[in-house]
Amino acid sequence: MKNHLSGVAPQRVRFGPSQTVVGPMTHLAEERERLADLRYDGFEVQQLGATIGGIVSGVDITGDLSDALVAELRRCLLDFKVIFFRDQPLTAERHVAFARRFGDLEIHPFIPSNTDQPELVRFEKEAVVGGFENGWHSDVSWRQVPSAAAVLHAVEVPAIGGDTSFSDMYAAYDGLEDEVKERIDSMVAVHDFSRVFGLTLDEAGRAKMREQFPLVEHPVVRTHGETGRKLLYVNRFFTLNIVGLDEAENLELMDLLCRQAETAEYQCRFHWETDSVAFWDNRAVQHLALSDYWPQRRVMERASIIGEVPA
């Protein structure tokens, strides 16, 4: 999009020995304006970030929803990549019921539910149980069939801290230089649970889980199964390496690609209140839960919707 004053698109520039890049993210303009113009039947949406995040009002997700409303919420999710709701006192049963309207639900093999709903995982953090989700990642990319989406409900939150940030992986891909896109478009990467979840297991436990969840390969550049858009699909938590590169090349390229999620202009940040809900497209975004509330207590519950094999 051109600068209306000069008629010339402003350019990003590099400076200093670190080659820091600054300047306007002009490739975000079209999507930012598209989202600003969208309207939905049955609810309103307040745009949160430039290309990601919408706060939904006017709908009660704790009760029965019509097929038409579910379809509109799905459309909204695909548009905004992550949507948020306030004041939704979900019981465990209603939480699972809402998530199931969008697809079959997965059961997480490492995180216990702590409820009578096995599809619901519980993150209960306090003085003796720290939060280790404060790194950019896409959930369960180590599965052959990773999650399509997730619904996270705030059961109990600290007075200050514990926000969650989300980053737009469409924007991350679109913002890469053309020569980088050309290089990575046909690459695949290895994903593995053990870097994170293996830390809680002994050798025998890791071997047992490896039988169930062997190393998997997914495209570095994934095509979203519903929108058809390309997005960047590597993360520091679960992506071990890119196939075909030596160690030095792998470290350099992985660092470049994973750093894209850290770009502030690609992000939105959500401040939790009790009974807030976040519903994100796990294919299109990465997320990071800030671990700045210790030793205060933070309790969240999540239901995840089974997706498709990345292609």
Catalytic residues: 137, 139, 287, 302
Cα–Cα distance for residue pair 21/233, rounded to 1 Å: 22
Residue 6's φ and ψ, nearest 5 degrees, are -100, -20
Beta strands 82-85 and 54-57: pairing type?
A: parallel
Angle among Cα 301, 281, 220 to the nearest 5 degrees reads: 120
At 47, give phi and psi (nearest 5°). Answer: -70, 130
d(CA 164, CA 154): 11
Place of tokens 């995180």: 111
Residue 64, CA distances (Å) to 59, 99, 101, 306 in order: 11, 12, 10, 22
Distance of CA 135 to the CA centre of its chain: 11
Burial bucket for residue 6 (CB in 10 Å: 0-12, 13-18, 19+):
exposed
Hunting for tokens 């737009």 — which residue is that? 168
Beta bridge partners of 164: 270, 289
Nearest-5° angle of CA 258, CA 260, CA 264?
130
